[in-house]
Structure 1
Amino acid sequence: MEKNTFCLRIKNSFKLGCVEISIDNDLKVYAEALTDVTVIALSLDECRNYLLKDNKFLNIVIYEMAQIITLNMNYKVITSSLPERVINYIKYYCSDNIVRGVEKTAFKLHCSDRQLQRVLNDLENKNIIQKCGKGTYRLLSSN
């Protein structure tokens, strides 16, 4: 996508671009679609003024920003250490409390593969998680 583009994902009620519409800079957002998505991309240079005058559109942006803030409060803000972030990630974002793929998970947790692997090994030694296969770990039910 080109520079200064607002991207609104329609399906599953998650939108990218809520922050970009309200600030005027070259913010870069890195995201990966894990399922099929429907996307509408608009040029912010051409559409910003129109969008900011549309109350229905602004209500959507406010709702989505509140969802993002709520997720961050429950996930990132409360936890500060990487082990806490890993546990919360597995607990709240992984289906069946199973994390699959160290490399992708490290990217999502903003750490290196090696850092994440050390934390996973430490959590396994403390019986907080259990290794299920190469790069696959399950949070034990008592946690």
Structure 2
Amino acid sequence: MKRIYDKDILFDWGQKADLQSVFSSTAIDFFGCLYEKGEFLSQPCEEAEYLQIVVSGTISIYHIREDGTRYSLAQGQGPFLLGDMEFYQPSPSLFFVEALMDTMTLAISLKKYREILKNDTRFLNYLVRNLSRKLISIACLESDNVSLKHRILNHLKYHCENGILIGMEKHAFLLRCSSRRCYVF
């Protein structure tokens, strides 16, 4: 991970992430982080020190079960908020967050700005929207669905522009199957 402090770069990243719609307070200092593909943005047992907003790139959030299998919780692209679950209750992270490609984030110190953010209505609304999206995603992963055929047809109808599936790996993750199984369908 490489930290970025250049004000011009941070301004550009802030524009990409639409920060003016996320924070009311202008008294918050950010720094940038550049992660290479395969680097971890967060790992279990590390205390979450920062809120991070993914500006560009793709991340994977997952957990390793006791039997050693990987349980995927979400994939996200910018803008995507990390550290939201640890915002009110400082605690170690429960999940791995890995960069699936080179990823840029804006980071905010939780220790320094937690109280300011607790009083920032715009930020709290943003936080609720992000947590709601994550809960919906997890609920969909956990629900017993119909056959793969029906899941694919539903996905094509409601989530693919013009009913065309582009980017097999991403869609296979959302359908909870391997990309090979999507091709077979």
Return the TM-score normalized by structure 2: 0.42
1:25 equivalent among 87, 92, 111 = 92
Tell me, which stretches of 5 or more residues in structure 1 are unaligned?
A: 121-143
Greater RCO (Cα-Cα under 8 Å, separation 6 or more): 2
The alignment of Structure 1 onto Structure 2 pairs a total of residues equal to 113
Say which structure is richer in strand. Answer: 2
> Which amino acid letter does the alignment assign opposite residue 41 of structure 1?
A
Aligned CA RMSD, in angstroms, stands at 3.9
Partner of 1:89: 155
SS at match of 1:21: coil
Pair 1:16–1:83, CA change in 2 (3 A): farther
Change (3 A) 1:63 1:86: same
The aligned counterpart of 1:8 is 53
User: Which of 118, 135, 143 is 1:53 aligned to?
Assistant: 118
> Where do residues 1-143 of structure 1 align in structure 2 (5 Å cutoff)?
1=35, 2-3=41-42, 4=48, 5-9=50-54, 15-17=80-82, 18-22=84-88, 24-26=91-93, 27-29=95-97, 39-44=105-110, 46-47=111-112, 49-50=114-115, 53-56=118-121, 57-69=123-135, 80-81=145-146, 82-118=148-184, 120=185
* CA deviation map 1:42-100 (0-9, x unaligned): 344x3473365334222221133234445666x65666143333223222221111002
The one-letter code matched in structure 1 to 2:92 is: N
Query: 2:87–2:114: 8 Å Cα contact kept in structure 1?
Result: no
Paired-residue identity, %: 25
Query: What amino acid does structure 2 have at the position aligned with 1:25?
Result: P
